[in-house]
Amino acid sequence: MYIPHTEKERDEMLRVIGIDQIADLFEDLPASHKFPSLNLPDRLTEMETLAELQSLSWMNESSQDLICFLGAGAYQHFIPSAVDSILRRGEFYTAYTPYQPEVSQGTLQAIFDYQSLITALTGMDVSNASHYDGATSTAEAVSMAIAHFRNKRSKVVVSPSLHPHYRETIRTYNHGGILEIVGDEDDADLLRGPESLYSHIDQKTALVIVQYPDFFGHVFDYTKLAEITHQAGSLLAIAVNPLALGLLKTPGDFGADIVTGEGQPLGIPLSFGGPYLGIFATRKEYIRKMAGRLVGETLDNRGQRAYVLTLTAREQHIRRERATSNICSNQALMVLASTIYMSLLGKHGLRQVSELCYHKAHYAAEKINSLKEFHLWSETPFFNEFVIKCPHPVDEINEYLLDYGVLGGYNLGNHYHKLNQHMLIAVTEMNTKDEIDSLVDLLAEVSND
Q: Which residues bind other proteins (CB under 8 A)?
A: 150, 288, 314-315, 318-319, 322
Which is closer to other proteins, CB of 34 or CB of 319? 319
- Give me the least distance between CB of 234 and other proteins, in Å please: 16
- Give me the least distance between CB of 97 and other proteins, in Å please: 20
How far apart are alpha carbons 208 and 197 in whole angstroms?
Answer: 8
Which is closer to other proteins, CB of 89 or CB of 288? 288
Which residues, other chains included, contact 208 with Cβ-Cβ below 8 Å and sequence gap of 6+? 156, 157, 158, 183, 197, 201, 225, 229, 234, 235, 236, 237
In terms of Cβ atoms closer than 10 Å to its own Cβ (0-12, 13-18, 19+), residue 275 is: middle
User: Is residue 208 within 8 Å of 222, Cβ to Cβ?
Assistant: no
How far apart are alpha carbons 223 and 211 in whole angstroms?
Answer: 13
- Give me the least distance between CB of 314 and other proteins, in Å please: 5
How far apart are alpha carbons 386 and 363 in whole angstroms?
Answer: 11
**288: nearest Cα among 237, 324, 319:** 324
- Give me the least distance between CB of 23 and other proteins, in Å please: 46
Which is closer to other proteins, CB of 15 or CB of 317? 317
Which is closer to other proteins, CB of 15 or CB of 152? 152
- Give me the least distance between CB of 319 and other proteins, in Å please: 6
- Torsion angles phi and psi, residue 116, rounded to 5: -65, -45
Which is closer to other proteins, CB of 181 or CB of 287? 287
Which is closer to other proteins, CB of 34 or CB of 288? 288
- Give me the least distance between CB of 288 and other proteins, in Å please: 7
- Give me the least distance between CB of 317 and other proteins, in Å please: 10
Which is closer to other proteins, CB of 315 or CB of 385? 315
- Give me the least distance between CB of 287 and other proteins, in Å please: 10
Which is closer to other proteins, CB of 1 or CB of 318? 318
